[in-house]
Amino acid sequence: MSSGAILPILDHELADDEIEWMKSVYADFSKARAAAGPEFNPKDALRAILAREEYHFSAVPDLTGPGPWRLGQNLHGRGVAAVFLRKVELHAHIATRTDQFPMYVVGEADGFSIDEKGKPVLTPVSDGGHFHNAPGAPHAFVPKVGAPKPDDWEIAFIAITPRNLKEDTHRVSDEVRALYKQVVGQDAPLGI
Mind listing the pLDDT tens digit of every residue in the chain (192 residues)? 544 558 999 999 999 999 999 999 999 999 999 999 888 999 999 999 999 999 999 888 999 999 999 999 999 999 999 999 999 999 999 999 999 999 999 999 999 999 999 999 999 999 999 999 999 999 999 999 999 999 999 999 999 999 989 889 999 999 999 999 999 999 999 866
Residue 157 in any domain: the answer is yes
Residue 3 in any domain: the answer is no
pTM score of the predicted model: 0.94
Residue 82 in any domain: the answer is yes
Domain enclosing residue 62, as ranges: 16-184
Residue 34 in any domain: the answer is yes
| Count: domains in the chain | 1
- Spatial contact of 154 and 146, defined as CB atoms under 8 Å apart: no
What is the CATH classification number for the domain harbouring 178?
2.60.120.10
Burial of 72 (0-12, 13-18, 19+ CB in 10 A): middle
Residue 5 in any domain: the answer is no
